[in-house]
Amino acid sequence: MARSNSTNLTVPDASMSHIEASDRRSLALNLIISLRPAQWTKNLLVFAALVFAERLFEPRAVLLSVAAFAIFCALSGVVYLINDIADRRIDREHPLKRRRPIAAGTLPVPLAATAAAVIAAVALLSAFALGWKLGLVAAGYVALQALYSGPLKHIVIIDVLALSIGFVLRAAAGAVAINVIVSHWLFVCTILLAMFIALAKRRHELVLLADGAASHRPILGEYSPYLLDQMIGVVTASTLIAYIFYTISPETTQKFGTDLLGLTIPFPLYGIFRYLYLVHRREGGGSPAELLINDRPLLVCVMLWVAAVVIIIYA
């Protein structure tokens, strides 16, 4: 017993070392970390309408899209603050989430709540200033994510749908910001791809937490790796089929004056299969934004797809 106590006293705890390091950070830095700027890559969906509406080289449209992107980056940060405040107790039991400033106690809850309110007010006022449609979409996004942080994340399947609709609202914001019609193809492809990512994230959480998954997040008790794999299989096939139909449809050919968009099909095929590989073989998927940034083949695939789409549509 004495040897055991001595060992416990001399071996440093990694989590405590991280908390001590967090204590040395300023409140401002902890607040910025809690806003999770690395996750703002998800808001790049705002620019989808700009590209596919053939407005990419119109300065005013570009500026409006950039403004919408900035607004949704701010609102995303607000959502992360709200979520971290709501989940701070269970996050302390998570091997990774316990390092977040609010869960670690290095960012006081009152300060985080005040910052969330101020940032949300400024972002929403800015959205309405750019247009009432953008303001409504932005307000709807915040309301949906607030509901997700409350009751929706505890309802099986609805939790994944709520996350996915959040991505659709980002794409819709890009369309209303530049005052173009929101394509039904944009909705279909976005929600299917978002569901694919959300289900993969659920699977990652389930595998990472193992037997403690349900105690950390009760909704995970309603899922199993097998069930999620079945859902992912359905959504994967649906996403690829929807994109293929979009690229080869007469409507698309007539709109862009070319039938070459089908040449971009290999990129989403590789990208989705690469993502599945990282989820199943590399235990990735917990943070889609970090996975995209850190995995070079996946990042190159996305960049090549964007370049190919722009060249085909505009050249």
Q: 271: Cβ–Cβ under 8 A, 6 or more apart, which residues?
A: 298, 301, 302, 305
Residue 7 pLDDT: 39
This prediction has a pTM of 0.83
Of 9, 10, 33, 11, give the one whose Cα is nearest residue 21.
Answer: 33
> 164 vs 90, which has greater pLDDT?
164
CA distance 199 to 136: 28
pLDDT tens for each residue of 280-292: 887 666 677 778 8
**Measured in Å, how far apart are the chain's first and last C-alpha atoms?**
75
The single-letter DSSP state of residue 94 is S
Sign of CA dihedral 143, 144, 149, 150: positive
For 37, 49, 127, 259, 282, the CA distances from 43, given in Å and listed in that order, are 11, 12, 15, 29, 25
How is the chain split among helix, strand and coil, in percent rounded to 5?
A: 85, 0, 15
Of 290, 248, 292, give the one whose Cα is nearest residue 272.
Answer: 292
- 5, pLDDT greater than 70: no
Q: 30: Cβ–Cβ under 8 A, 6 or more apart, which residues?
A: 22, 101, 106, 107
pLDDT tens for each residue of 60-84: 999 999 999 999 999 999 998 988 8
Residue 11 pLDDT: 38
For 5, 142, 181, 311, the CA distances from 67, given in Å and listed in that order, are 57, 17, 19, 25
Residue 284 pLDDT: 65
CA angle 156, 158, 163 (to 5 degrees): 120
CA distance 301 to 314: 20
Q: 221: Cβ–Cβ under 8 A, 6 or more apart, which residues?
A: 213, 214
Residue 6 pLDDT: 40
Q: What is the mean pLDDT of residues 206-229?
A: 77
> 98 vs 3, which has greater pLDDT?
98
Task: Give the CA diameter of the chain.
Answer: 80
Of 142, 155, 150, give the one whose Cα is nearest residue 86.
Answer: 150
pLDDT band at residue 3 using 50, 70 and 90 as cut-offs: very low
pLDDT tens for each residue of 246-276: 999 999 999 899 999 999 999 999 999 999 8
What count of other Cβ atoms lies within 10 Å of the Cβ of residue 244? Answer: 14
CA distance 68 to 196: 25
CA distance 24 to 30: 10
CA distance 169 to 133: 12
For helices 158-177 and 132-149, angle between their N-to-C axes, nearest 10 degrees: 160
How is residue 267 written in tokens? 């990129």
CA distance 4 to 160: 45
Q: Rounded mean pLDDT of the chain?
A: 85
